[in-house]
Chain A
C-alpha cells in the first residue's frame, strides 16, 4: 500500500509539471489549431537559462534564495520573448497555409532550438543548483520532499491564476472568443494577432516555470530534455481534451499518475518481463488509445473536424 501511495505522490508531482506544459499546447491549439511542436524546447531553454543565471549569481556570492528568484525571473522573461518570437517569425506567416505546413515548421523550430541550446550550453548534462533545502516528510509510509510539495502548490496556484485570467479578464474573453470563431471575434473588434501572441507568451511563461520545476526536481538538465517532456505534455493535453484548459490540468495530473503507477507495477503485471525502464511507453500508449477511442479527450466537447 505504501508503494501505491508513494507512486501517487510521485505521479502528482510529475503530473503538475506536465499540466503546466500542457496548458501551453492547449491554449495555442485551442486558439489557432496548431500543435506547437517546439513548446517542449521552450521548457528546456527555461531550465538552462535558470542554471546559467542562478548558478553564476550563487558563484559570485548572492544568497541562494535570491539567486533562485533571479534565475526564475530571467527564465520566464527569456521564454516569453522566445514564445513571442516563435509565433511572430515562424508561425504567423503560415496562418492560412494547409495545416501540415506549420506542423513541419514547428518540427524545424524544435530542431533549431535544440541545436542552438547545444551550441550555447554544450552536449553534456548540467547540474541544476540546489535552490531549496532538502526536507523530507512522511505520511503513512510514503515519503515526500519540500520540493515536491512546493511544485504541486505552485502549479496549483499558477493554474488558478490562469483560470482567473481566462475567465475573468478582458484578454481572457478575447481568447475564448477567438478560439470559438476567429472571424466573428475579429468582427467584434478582437485583435486576433494580439490574442495569439498572448497565448504564446503566457504558455511560454508557464513553460519556463515548469522548466525551473523540472530542474529543481531532477537536479540535472540537458539540451534534449524538452522533447520527451513536450510530447508527454501534449499527450496530457489530448487526454484532457485539447483546447480545454481544465482538461489540460486534469490530463497532466492523470498522465503523471498513470506513468508513476505503471512504472511501479509493470514488473508485477508482466511477471518481470517488462521493467520500469518502459515508463516512457505509457504516455504513448495513452495517447494512441485516447485518440482511437475518444479523440475529443476525457473532458473535451465532441466537436467536428475544423479543417
Chain B
C-alpha cells in the first residue's frame, strides 16, 4: 500500500480544499447567478463521471444517458412536490430515483448490449427520445408528468429542518441557497471521483478494460462480458438518477425540455472531449463545456454590439456552433481528447 499523505500531497490537498471552500464566496461577489453556474459545472462533472463508467471504462457509446437523469429528476419531482401532494424525505427519494434509473438501465441494456458500438449508440438515442416523448405526453388521460408544462414547486433538498433553499446563518455567516447546494454537490462529486478511481483499479475495472481491448479474449479468460457490460450500464444509470434528483430539487422545476437529445450529446462530449476514461480529463471537459456558453453569452454578445452595433448571430446558436465544431476538430486532431490518460492516448493514436 502506498501512503499518499506525504508532506507534498498533504499540502496539495489542503490547498485544493481551501480553494474549493473559498470558491462559492469568491464567485458570489459577481452575483449568486455565478454560484449557480458553478453548481451546474459540478453537477455536470458528476454526470460526466457517471457516464465515464459506461463510455470511458466499458467502452459502450451511450447516447441516451440523459434518460436516466430524467428518471431521477421526475422521481424526485413526483415524490416531493404538490403535484401529487407527496413530500417524501431525501433518504427515501434519492435511492428510489437511483434504483429506478438502474432498472431502466438494465431493461435497456440487457437486450441491446450485444450490439456493436454504433448500433448501440443509435438504440440508446432512440430510448432517450422515447422517455422524453412519454414525459411530454403522460398528462392525459391520467396526469402523471403534467406534460410539456412540467412540474413546479418541487421541494428543495432538506435534512430534517435544514433546507438547502434560501439563506441560512451558520457561525454568524450568511450562506445562500446556491452556496449550500454547492457544498452538497462538491461532496457528491468527491464521492463519484473516489468511486471512479477505485473502480478503475479493481477486478471489475480491469474486466471492463479487457472487454474494450479484445472482447473475444476477455470471454476466453472467463469474463461474462454481457453481465460486466450490464454492470457498467446500470452503474452509469444510477449515477444519472442521483444527479437528476439533485437537479430537480435545486431547480425546483422540471420539464421534458431539460432532457433533450442535445443534453445527452453534451454530456457525452464532456467525456469524449476531455479524455475518455481519464478522470481529470472528464472533469476538464465538464468544466469547459459548462462555462463555454456563459463566456459566449457574456463575451460575444456585447462584443458584437460594440463592433457591429447589432446582434448578428445570437449567442445560443453560436454556442451550439462552437460546440459542434469542437467535436469535429477534437475528433480530427486529438481523438483521445484534450487531456487523455496516457494509455488511452496510445490506444487511440496507435491505429487499429
Binding site for B on A (CB under 8 A): 35, 90, 93-94, 96-105, 107-112, 114-116, 118-119, 227, 231, 234-235, 238, 272-275, 277-278, 280-281, 283-285, 287-288, 291-292, 295, 305, 307
Contact with A along B104-136 (1 / 0, CB 8 A): 000000011001111101110111011001101
Which of chain A's residues have a CB closer than 8 A to the CB of B122? 35, 231, 234, 238, 287
B305 in the interface (beta carbon within 8 A): no
Nearest B-chain residue to A116, judged by Cβ: B321
CA distance A116 to B324 in the complex (A): 11
A284 touches B137 (CB 8 A): no
Which A residues are CB-close (under 8 A) to B332?
Answer: 90, 93-94, 105
Establish whether residues B115 and A291, one from each chain, have CB atoms under 8 Å apart when the complex forms: yes
In the complex, the chain B residue whose C-beta lies closest to that of A306 is B116
Find B118's partner among A103, A116, A280 (CB 8 Å cutoff).
A103
**Contact yes or no, B112 A288, CB < 8 A:** yes
CA distance A275 to B318 in the complex (A): 37
The list of the 3 closest CB pairs from A to B, nearest first, reads A108-B327, A111-B324, A284-B126
Q: Can you list 20 A-B contacts with CB-CB less than 8 angstroms, sorted by A residue number?
A: A90-B332, A96-B351, A99-B118, A103-B61, A105-B327, A108-B325, A108-B327, A111-B265, A112-B325, A115-B318, A115-B321, A231-B129, A277-B133, A278-B133, A281-B133, A287-B122, A288-B111, A288-B127, A291-B119, A295-B119
| Residue interface mask B332-345, A partner, CB < 8 A = 1 | 10010000000000
Is the beta-carbon distance between B115 and A295 smaller than 8 angstroms? yes
A8 to chain B, nearest CB (A): 24
- A288 proximity list for chain B (CB < 8 A): 111-112, 123, 126-127
Contact B321 A104 (CB under 8 A): no
Contact of A108 among B111, B140, B331, B351 (CB under 8 A): B331
Q: Using A105-B328, A109-B324, A275-B137 as known contacts, say yes or no to A100 and B117 having CB atoms under 8 A apart.
A: yes
- Name the B residues within 8 Å of A97 (CB-CB): 331, 335
Number of A-B contacts (CB under 8 A): 120
Residues in A whose Cβ lies below 8 Å from that of B123: 287-288, 291
Rounded to whole angstroms, the CA-CA distance of A274 and B130 in the bound complex is 13
**Which residues of the partner chain B approach A238 to less than 8 Å between Cβ atoms?**
119, 122
With CB as the reference atom, state the residue of chain A lying closest to B137: A277
Pair B61/A284 contact, Cβ less than 8 Å: no
Name A280's contact: one of B116, B129, B326 (CB within 8 Å): B129
Chain A nearest CB, measured from B189 CB (Å): 25
Q: Given the complex of chains A and B, what is the CA–CA distance between A275 and B147 in angstroms?
A: 13
**Interface: B348 (CB within 8 A):** yes
Question: Is A115 in contact with B317, judged by CB distance below 8 angstroms?
Answer: yes
Given contacts A100-B117, A101-B335, A234-B122, contact A109 B127 (CB under 8 A): no
Specify the chain B residue showing the minimal Cβ separation from A111.
B324
B272 within 8 A of A: yes
Distance in angstroms between the alpha carbons of A227 and B324 in the assembled complex: 15
Residues of chain B from 135 to 190 with CB closer than 8 A to chain A in the complex = 136-137, 140-142
Contact (A99, B335) CB under 8 Å given A107-B265, A287-B122: no
CA distance A99 to B61 in the complex (A): 11
- B18 on the A face (CB < 8 A): no
User: Residues of B contacting A98 with CB < 8 Å?
Assistant: 335, 348
CB contacts (< 8 Å) of A295 on chain B: these are 115, 119
Instruction: Confirm or deny: B11 has a beta carbon within 8 angstroms of a beta carbon on chain A.
Output: no
**Residues of B contacting A291 with CB < 8 Å?**
112, 115, 119, 123
| Nearest CB of B to A240, in Å | 15
- Bound: A44/B275 CA distance, A: 32
Are A115 and B324 neighbours in the complex by a CB distance under 8 Å?
yes
**Does the CB pair B121–A278 fall under 8 Å?**
no
Chain B residues near A107: list those with CB within 8 A. 265, 327
Name the B residues within 8 Å of A119 (CB-CB).
313, 317, 321
B25 interfacial contact with A, CB 8 Å: no
Contact A281 B324 (CB under 8 A): no
- Chain B residues in 8 Å Cβ range of A285: 130
B323 adjacent to chain A (CB < 8 Å): yes
Q: Of residues 283 to 324 in B, which have CB atoms within 8 Å of A's CB atoms?
A: 313, 317-318, 320-321, 323-324
Complex CA distance for A275 and B262, rounded to whole angstroms:
26
> Within the complex, which residue of B121, B269, B317, B331 is in contact with A118, where a contact is CB–CB below 8 Å?
B317
Contacts A104-B327, A291-B119, A307-B117 known; A114 to B320 CB distance under 8 Å?
yes
246-279 of chain B: CB within 8 A of chain A: 261-262, 265, 268-269, 272
Which chain A residues lie closer than 8 Å to B335 at the CB level? 97-98, 101
Cβ–Cβ contact B141 & A273, under 8 A: yes
Contact across chains for A292 and B140 when beta carbons are under 8 A apart: no
| Chain B residues with CB below 8 A from A280, complex form | 129, 133
Further 6 A-B residue pairs, CB within 8 A, beyond A108-B324, A234-B122, A292-B111: A98-B348, A105-B327, A227-B261, A231-B129, A277-B136, A284-B127
Q: Does A101 lie within 8 Å of B331, measured CB to CB?
A: yes
A100 to B326, CA, bound (A): 16
Chain A residues in 8 Å Cβ range of B121: 35, 100, 103
Which residue of B262, B328, B351 is within 8 Å of A109 (Cβ)? B328
How far does the Cβ of A279 sit from chain B's closest Cβ, in whole Å? 9
